[in-house]
Amino acid sequence: MTTDYAADLTAYRAAVREFVTSPVLDKWRGAATDDVADDMRSSAGLMRCLYDAGFGRYGMPPEVGGLGGDVRHWAVLFDELARAGLTPTGQHSLLTTLAYPVARFAPRLAAAYLPEFLSGDAWWGQGFSEPEAGSDLAALRCRATRDGDDYVISGSKIWTSHGATASRIVLLARTGTQESRHRGLSMILVDVDDPGVTVRPIALASGREELAECFFDDVRVPASRLIGAEGEGWAVAMYLLQYERAVYAWLRASALLQRVRVLTEAMADGGSGTGAADGILGGVYLDLVSLRARSVDTVRRLAAGQTVGPEASTDKLLLGACEQSVYDAARSLLGPAFMFGEAGRQWREEWWYSRTTTVYGGSAEVQRGIIADRVLKLPKE
């Protein structure tokens, strides 16, 4: 008797939970290295294992290598992975952000290239920000000029997520005039090994090279790699933003809840639990529950095919606050074990990374402005 996991989310959760707790995945449980490339190769193996078992294919339509279902299937998968000590992968964070807009606006590209992403055989970076255009994407200068059947791309990108290891980059480039602002942008899928592409890894404060600066020196890309119509890049980016705010927030909340469980166990094993420690952990847990309460509504709306607008900035604000509160709690409660030695290395790296979470993807200040202007409709100063 075959269960329809695309339609039966409860049965899907039960099957995923049984699979991710099996010994076949033990090699990835708690695995982490100092080298990002090694981590990505290792997590690619986990992606392949999930793909071959079928569980990593739900949430995407069959036309692009999926098995049906919707974003709730990803939410369930992330919960169960984290609960089993298997942190959702870096590939997952970009897959659930980039796959849906590509599937909607460029179905032929999605059919050709998303199966490799789902299976972990390849992954993509997100090339939006530039040295002079961070939160203000309408100021982008990287240019794509139409030349026959190709676009010729010139310019640079910075803070490209997983750009140092990605095989392709979803690039937001200017095809119109600088004065056209967001109306003159287009989105293109570019291969990293194309002639003229140079990638320079960026070391974070932790020393990990998760980001990259990318240079495009007259890179020729077939016009068939366009995601959406020319000049439609802003609309694609806004559609993408729903998933970056919602599904990524769920993924990170799942991982953070697991880290809180690890921290709680460390406190219990060390015999250092106190009323003050309980208060700190309780406060962190309440922060995460607040994020999940907000995020579950956003995920359900996406699953129902609704458009999630500027109110998704609330999810981004709550996630940044949770990221920092979890790791501030670890720094406070673990003391010397956090500051020194191999045992605290992962905590220290994650604490450093958490400092960026109120900046990347749109700073907290920008998100508050969006909420004030477009959600609460407060009067202008």
> Do 162 and 257 fall into the same domain?
no
Q: Which of 76, 92, 122 is the last residue of a domain?
A: 122
- Read off the CATH number of the domain in which 179 is found: 2.40.110.10
In a domain, 381, yes or no: no
Residues serving a catalytic function are 244
Residues listed for the chain: 381
Residue 340: give the domain boundaries. Answer: 234-375
- Residue 25 DSSP code: G
pTM: 0.92
Q: How many helices (H) and strands (E) does the chain have?
A: 11, 8
pLDDT tens track of the chain, all 381 residues? Answer: 468 999 999 999 999 999 999 999 999 997 777 788 888 999 999 999 999 999 999 999 999 999 999 999 999 999 999 999 998 998 999 999 999 999 999 999 999 999 999 999 999 999 999 988 766 788 899 999 999 999 999 999 999 989 999 999 999 999 999 888 889 999 999 999 999 999 999 988 777 888 999 999 999 999 999 999 999 999 999 999 999 888 999 999 999 999 999 999 888 876 555 678 889 999 999 999 999 999 999 999 999 999 998 999 999 999 999 999 999 999 999 999 999 988 888 899 899 999 999 988 888 998 999 999 999 999 986
Q: CATH no. for residue 117? A: 1.10.540.10
Q: Which residues contact 139 (CB under 8 A, 6 or more apart)?
A: 130, 132, 133, 181
Looking at the fold, whether 242 and 365 belong to one and the same domain comes out as yes
Distance separating alpha carbons of residues 269 and 273, to the nearest angstrom: 9
**141 falls within a domain:** yes
- Name residues whose C-beta falls within 8 Å of residue 71's C-beta, 6 or more positions apart in sequence: 59, 96, 100, 243, 246, 247, 299, 302, 303
Residue 44 placed within a domain: yes
Which distant-in-sequence residues (6+ apart) come within 8 Å of 256 by Cβ?
288, 322, 323, 326
- Nearest-10 crossing angle of helices 90-105, 233-269: 160
Say if residue 178 is in the same domain as residue 115: no
Count: domains in the chain: 3
